[in-house]
C-alpha cells in the first residue's frame, strides 16, 4: 500500500512538472485510468463489424481509430470531467484516487470537449453522429443540474446501461458505415443488461459515503443484497441474449465458450452476495474491479465467438 502511494505521488509530480499550472489536473479529472476499459469496449464494435480478419487487413481502420478517439477522450473524458464539477466528492472516486482540487475552468473545459467531439463527429458516417449526439445529451442530463439524473436512482441506471452498454460499442460499428443486422444487434443489445448488472456494483464501495452525503443512488435505495440479486439476474439475461445471437448467426461449436465468462461473473457475484454484510468498503471496491475483469473476459470471448 505504501509503495502504491509513493508510485502515485511520483507519477503526479512528474505530470505536474511536465504540464504547467492546472493543466495536469484537467487531465486527471478526465480519468485516463478508465480510457483503456472504454477503448476496449468501444473497439469491440469495430471488430464485430469487420471481423478479426478485417482487423488484420486494416479494413476501415482509419475511421475506427478516429471514432475511438472522439468517443473515449472527447465524449467519455468530457463526461467524467463534468461529473467531477458537480459531484464534489471528498474521497476517492472511480478511476481517480485522491482527486486534485477542481481547476477553475473545468466546466468550460468539459463542455468544449463534449461539443468539440460532436463537431468533429461530422467527419464520420451519420449513424455515428447520431449515436454521439444521443450520448452527448445523456451525459448532460446525467451530470448537470437541474436535471442531474445521476442522483435519480433508476434513471441513472437506464442511462448507463444503454449509453455505455450498447451505444458505446455501436459507435465503432457505426464508424465503419456497415448496416447493423439482427444477429449483431442482439450482441450489442446483450451489453445493455450486462452493464445493468455491473452498474450497482460500482456503487457498493461508496455506499456509506453516499449515505452520509444524502445521495439516493440505486444501490442505496435497493440495498446491498437486492443490488447483488439484480446484478446476477441481469448477467444471466445478458448471456441468454448472447446465446440467442449465437443461434441467429450460426456460430456452431464456438457458442459454449460463452459459458467461461458467465462462470467468471458468477464466481465474483455469488461469494459477494453471500458475504457482503461483513465486507469493508475496500473489499467492495476490489469486488468491483474483479467484475470489470469479468467484463473484459466477456469482451474477449464475444470476439472469439462472433468475430472469427
Residue 5 lies in a domain: no
Chain centroid, CA 233 distance in Å: 19
Residue 35 predicted with pLDDT over 70: yes
The answer to whether 122 touches 116, Cβ cutoff 8 Å, is no
Grid cell listed for 131: 449515436
Q: Are residues 37 and 176 in the same domain?
A: yes
Structural domain including 90 reads: 21-180
- Of the three residues 180, 203, 225, the one that is the final residue of a domain is 180
Q: Are residues 38 and 158 in the same domain?
A: yes
Residue 7 predicted with pLDDT over 60: no
Label residue 19 by pLDDT band (50, 70, 90).
confident
For the whole model, what pTM was predicted?
0.87
Residue 95 lies in a domain: yes
The widest CA-to-CA distance across the chain, in whole angstroms, is: 57
Alpha-carbon torsion 246, 251, 256, 260, what sign? Answer: negative
- Of the three residues 148, 180, 212, the one that is the final residue of a domain is 180
pLDDT of residue 2: 47
Q: Domain of 206: which CATH number?
A: 1.20.120.1780
Which residues have CB under 8 Å from 232's CB, separation 6+?
Answer: 197, 266, 269, 270, 273
Domain count along the chain: 2
Q: Are residues 170 and 79 in the same domain?
A: yes
What whole-number distance in Å separates Cα of residue 219 and Cα of residue 207?
7
Residue 16 lies in a domain: no
pLDDT tens-digit series, residues 108-166: 999 999 999 999 999 999 999 999 999 999 999 988 888 888 777 788 889 989 999 99
Residue 63 lies in a domain: yes
pLDDT tens-digit series, residues 255-290: 999 999 999 999 999 999 998 888 888 888 899 889
pLDDT tens-digit series, residues 213-255: 766 778 788 888 999 999 999 999 999 999 999 999 998 789 9
Residue 12 lies in a domain: no
Mean local confidence (pLDDT), 7-24:
74
- Of the three residues 161, 180, 199, the one that is the final residue of a domain is 180
pLDDT tens-digit series, residues 184-219: 999 999 999 999 999 889 888 877 776 677 667 787
pLDDT of residue 90: 59
User: To the nearest whole number, what is the mean pLDDT of the chain?
Assistant: 89
Residue 15 lies in a domain: no
Residue 11 predicted with pLDDT over 70: no
What whole-number distance in Å separates Cα of residue 146 and Cα of residue 154?
17
Q: Are residues 116 and 213 in the same domain?
A: no
Amino acid at each position: 500500500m505504501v509503495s502504491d502511494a509513493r508510485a502515485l505521488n511520483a507519477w503526479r509530480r512528474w505530470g505536474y512538472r511536465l504540464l504547467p499550472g492546472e493543466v495536469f489536473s484537467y487531465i486527471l479529472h478526465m480519468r485516463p485510468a478508465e480510457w483503456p476499459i472504454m477503448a476496449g469496449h468501444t473497439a469491440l464494435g469495430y471488430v464485430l463489424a469487420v471481423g478479426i480478419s478485417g482487423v488484420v487487413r486494416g479494413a476501415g481502420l482509419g475511421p475506427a481509430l478516429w471514432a475511438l478517439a472522439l468517443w473515449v477522450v472527447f465524449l467519455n473524458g468530457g463526461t467524467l470531467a463534468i461529473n467531477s464539477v458537480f459531484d464534489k466528492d471528498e474521497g476517492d472516486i472511480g478511476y481517480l484516487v485522491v482527486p486534485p482540487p477542481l481547476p477553475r475552468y473545468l466546466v468550460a473545459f468539459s463542455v468544449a470537449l463534449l461539443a468539440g467531439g460532436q463537431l468533429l463527429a461530422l467527419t464520420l458516417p451519420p449513424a455515428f453522429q447520431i449515436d454521439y449526439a444521443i450520448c452527448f445529451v445523456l451525459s448532460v442530463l446525467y451530470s448537470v443540474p437541474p436535471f442531474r439524473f445521476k442522483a435519480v436512482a433508476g434513471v441513472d441506471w437506464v442511462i448507463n446501461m444503454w449509453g455505455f452498454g450498447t451505444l458505446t460499442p455501436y459507435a465503432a460499428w457505426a464508424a465503419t458505415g456497415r448496416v447493423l443486422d439482427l444477429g449483431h444487434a442482439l450482441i450489442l443489445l446483450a451489453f445493455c443488461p450486462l452493464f445493468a448488472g455491473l452498474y450497482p456494483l460500482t456503487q457498493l464501495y461508496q455506499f456509506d459515503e453516499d449515505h452520509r452525503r444524502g445521495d439516493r443512488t440505486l444501490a442505496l435505495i435497493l440495498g446491498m443484497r437486492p443490488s447483488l440479486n439484480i446484478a446476477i439476474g441481469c448477467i444471466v439475461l445478458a448471456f441468454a441474449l448472447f446465446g440467442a445471437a449465437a443461434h441467429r448467426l450460426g456460430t456452431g461449436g464456438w457458442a459454449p465458450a460463452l459459458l467461461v465468462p458467465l462462470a467468471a461473473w458468477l464466481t465474483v457475484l455469488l461469494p459477494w452476495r453471500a458475504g457482503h454484510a461483513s465486507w469493508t468498503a475496500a473489499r467492495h471496491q476490489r469486488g468491483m474491479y474483479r467484475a470489470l475483469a469479468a467484463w473484459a473476459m466477456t469482451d474477449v470471448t464475444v470476439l472469439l465467438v462472433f468475430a472469427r
